[in-house]
Structures are given as C-alpha cells and as structure tokens.
Amino acid sequence: MISTPICELLKIDYPIALGGLGGGFTQPEMVAGVSEVGGFGAIGCHGMSAAEVTAASVAIREITDKPFALNFLLFLVEEDAFAAALAQKPAAIALAWPRGDQDIKSYINRAHDAGCKVTLMAGSVKEAIRGAEAGADVIIAQGSEGGGHVSWMTSIVLTPMVVDAITPIPVLAAGGFANGRGLAAAIALGADGILLGTRFLASDESKMHPNFKKAILKSDGHDTVLTEIPDLAAGTVWPGAMSRAQRNAFIKNWTGREWEIRQNQKEVEATVMTARKEGDADNAPLSFGQDAGLIDDIIPVKDIVLRIVKEAEDIMRNKLPALAD
C-alpha cells in the first residue's frame, strides 16, 4: 500500500487529495466519498455563507467520520464563513491565493489554534516559502497544467523546486495529475502525494452539468488555454492568477476583445450564467486542466482513488525496481 509521511500527518490512508473546487463544484457527497475511501476530501467554501459552511461540514460528517478540509480563497475570504469553518474544526483548513500584502500568518495561527492543520497552495517557489515561513503544515505545489486558477510554472519543474526549498515540510503536487502514473511521478519528483481537480470533476458525484463532464471526456488536453477572460466576465481580479479553461466558442469569441468585456461586464456575465444553467458548454467558460486528455470515463470518486493507488503501486512494485538493477 502506498503510504507517505503525509498520510500520518493528515490521518489518511492514501496520499491523494481532492482540491477544494469553489463555485459549488465540490459537494458533501464528493468530499465525503474521497475521504471515506482513504483519500483527503476538501470542500471549496468560496462563495458560501457561514451557515452554508456549517451545513456542508455537517453533511460531510453524516456520511463519513474521516478527515476532510475546508478550502478558502484568501483574497476573497469572508470573516463569518472563515470563523464558521474554524468552529467546525475540520482536519485541515486549505488556503489558496493570498494577495501579496495579506497577512497569511494570522489565518494559519487561527486555524492551528482551532486544532486544524493548514495546507497552502503555491504556484511559485516564492509563494511556497512564504507559506512555509508563515507556518503552513503542507504546501500544495500547483503547476500550470492544472484546471482553474494557476500560475506559470509547470508541475514537473515546480514540484522538485518547491520540495527542495521547503523541506522537510511535506508537498502535494497538483496540476496535471489524473492517474497512477501521475502519483508515481509526483513521488519521484519528491512530493508526498497528489491533489486533483479535473479528474474528480468527471465523477459520478460531481454536480457539474453532464454536458460539461462530457467536454472533459471529449478533450484531448490540447484544447485548453491560459486566459483572463473567465475572470473578466465574472468581474473578479485575482492576485496574479491565470485561468486554465477550454478554448471553446466563448473564449474564442472574446479573445482580442477583452476591453469589450470590461465595458459590458454585467451583460457578459449574464450570458455566462444562462449558458451554465442550460448546460451550454460552448458559451460558458469551462475550467479544466490539460489532464482532461488523460480522462475518459465518469466513475465514482471511490474508484478514482482506488484505481490511482493500484496503478501507482503496480508501477512502483513491478516496473521501477527492475530498472534499477
């Protein structure tokens, strides 16, 4: 069985985590399903009220007594929701995307005082060191292959650089990991495990519209782009992030006309909301990673975790030892 030091730290069986996908993509059933099978589930609390954070935590605990994380985007964090999360005392508070001038230490200290571990997502070595110095227990090194908001460095380069910069603090590699080969590779790069977003979006438990899930299956991974168009349409300025989204009709339509989105933000946002509701995969931004090219089925999250473990174990037991003889 694959077990790394992070398993002991987070009290999980397998070093496989679900990213806290905000915007309602991580539901209690999905989070609990990942945790119950032995991985580490996380709910994206971005946009949730204090009452919703509490209700989601209670709902997860009705399904499993295994550890899970509550995830916050620091640059948009709402005090009430954060306080409600701490009151739930999850195994971990998962933090991502602080502003450059934000005092992350105070959030980390409050989480520690509540008895939670803290993970911090970093897309650069500088951000990883910042998180480590502020007291984070785990750093998520997130590469630009990943879905949603990412920085500029690829996982294969960023992961070992972050590991070297903050050792002995454990690192989970994120961005582009979707199978057992990815887990074995991440461990070879010095990480303690992997954190996944896109793979779990294409799961039975994912509440993503079926048409959007189909777009992930159909994607060969070559059809995504780093863009600011989804954020311009949402009217949100992120602290230095680009968004990896499918180069669909919506993105093609607005590329080169970003100024026009700024001019008509509310109207553009309204068309996005309608397209999302109708499951129109061409006319809403679709955030997923290059690893969509590695995904060709929609299965329960439990099977995703177990399949990754089995594949990685097979590589490590049967393929790698013979190569080192």
Give the 3-state secondary structure percentages of the chain, helix then strand then coil, rounded to 5.
50, 15, 35
Question: Is the CB of 203 or the CB of 287 nearer to ligand FMN?
Answer: 287
Q: Which of residues 266-305 bind ligand FMN (CB under 6 A)?
A: 287-289, 291
Q: How far is the CB of 19 from ligand FMN (least distance, A)?
A: 2
Q: How far is the CB of 156 from ligand FMN (least distance, A)?
A: 13
- Which listed residue (41, 44, 180, 230) binds ligand FMN by CB under 6 A? 44
* Residue 71 is a binding residue for ligand FMN (CB under 6 A): yes
Cβ–Cβ < 8 Å for 272, 229: no
Handedness of CA 55, 60, 62, 66 (dihedral sign): negative
Q: How far is the CB of 121 from ligand FMN (least distance, A)?
A: 5
Cβ–Cβ < 8 Å for 33, 205: yes
Burial of residue 167, with CB atoms counted within 10 A of its CB: 0-12 exposed, 13-18 middle, 19 or more buried: exposed
Contacts of residue 120, defined as CB under 8 A and 6 or more positions apart, other chains included, come to 94, 95, 96, 104, 108, 127, 128, 131, 134, 136, 138, 139, 140
The region of 171-179, 224-232, 273-281, 296-304 touching ligand FMN under the rule CB under 6 A is: 171-179
Cα 190 to Cα 7, 11, 182, distances in angstroms: 15, 20, 13
Q: Which of residues 306-325 bind ligand FMN (CB under 6 A)?
A: none
Cα 33 to Cα 20, 64, 208, 296, distances in angstroms: 14, 8, 16, 20
Q: How far is the CB of 201 from ligand FMN (least distance, A)?
A: 6
Residues 260 and 180: their CA atoms lie apart, in Å, by 43
Structure tokens at 93: 């508070």
* Residue 82 is a binding residue for ligand FMN (CB under 6 A): no
Question: Is the CB of 228 or the CB of 317 nearer to ligand FMN?
Answer: 228
- Which listed residue (179, 198, 206, 227) binds ligand FMN by CB under 6 A? 198
Cβ–Cβ < 8 Å for 115, 89: yes
Q: How far is the CB of 46 from ligand FMN (least distance, A)?
A: 5
- Which listed residue (10, 12, 14, 20) binds ligand FMN by CB under 6 A? 20
- Which listed residue (73, 162, 233, 308) binds ligand FMN by CB under 6 A? 73
Burial of residue 75, with CB atoms counted within 10 A of its CB: 0-12 exposed, 13-18 middle, 19 or more buried: middle
Residues 301 and 317: their CA atoms lie apart, in Å, by 24
* Residue 98 is a binding residue for ligand FMN (CB under 6 A): no
- Which listed residue (46, 66, 209, 213) binds ligand FMN by CB under 6 A? 46
Name which of 67, 62, 53, 70 is nearest 29 in CA terms. 62
Structure tokens at 307: 């399949």
Question: Is the CB of 81 or the CB of 96 nearer to ligand FMN?
Answer: 96
The region of 17-25, 215-223, 303-311, 315-323 touching ligand FMN under the rule CB under 6 A is: 17-25
Q: Which of residues 108-167 bind ligand FMN (CB under 6 A)?
A: 121, 142, 145-148
Q: Which of residues 217-246 bind ligand FMN (CB under 6 A)?
A: none
Q: How far is the CB of 321 from ligand FMN (least distance, A)?
A: 28
Question: Is the CB of 5 or the CB of 23 nearer to ligand FMN?
Answer: 23
Residue given tokens 């803290």 in the structure block: 118
Question: Is the CB of 65 or the CB of 210 nearer to ligand FMN?
Answer: 210
Residue ranges that bind ligand FMN, judged by CB under 6 A: 19-23, 25, 44, 46, 71, 73, 96, 121, 142, 145-148, 174-177, 195-199, 287-289, 291
